Amino acid sequence: MYRPIVGTLGYILSPDHEQTLLVHRNARADDAHLGKYNGLGGKMLPDEDVLTCLRREIREEAGIECEEIVPRGTINWTGFGPDGEDWLGFIFRIDRFRGTPFTENSEGVLSWQPISRLLELPMWEGDRHFLPLVFDHDPRVFYGHMPYRDNRPVGWKYSRI
């Protein structure tokens, strides 16, 4: 039976649109993402819609308010979680925000990273497949599937319409 965990993942652009705010997951030894850079986001609560979830997660993790949100895609990550859970992720780019981002949160240090060098950072192997789609200039949303096995992607396919 397919009962995914639904979550959001946001990539916040700097005012010049050359960098994105990432969290370096280095605060908790028991973190499944330990040592990796990631966008901001998390699990959707039962009383939320996807945008409410994204706005809450960005507020909690970065201390800022989203003003311009651009949907970039969805990904069905099957077998991704530590116990093989399935995740359905809604991926967004935040092109404009209000406030001053935190420099750290309970998951790690937040820092601005050049978009042109993102793929050089330690991250989930699968992120390297979809990150270019988040920042490209194609206005179409992508719809992806990335099955995982033993913490590694074993496939990647997507379409745009």
Domains assigned to the chain: 5-160 (3.90.79.10)
Closest of 154, 148, 161, 156 to residue 4, by C-alpha: 148
* pLDDT averaged per 10 residues, the chain (length 161): 96 98 92 91 98 98 98 97 91 98 96 97 96 98 96 96 89
Handedness of CA 62, 26, 92, 81 (dihedral sign): negative
Looking at beta carbons, which pairs linking 51-60 to residues 24 or more positions away fall under 8 Å? 53/6, 53/7, 53/8, 54/8, 54/10, 54/90, 54/92, 57/8, 57/10, 58/10, 58/12, 58/94, 58/97, 60/105
Q: What pLDDT sits at residue 33?
A: 85
pTM above threshold 0.75: yes
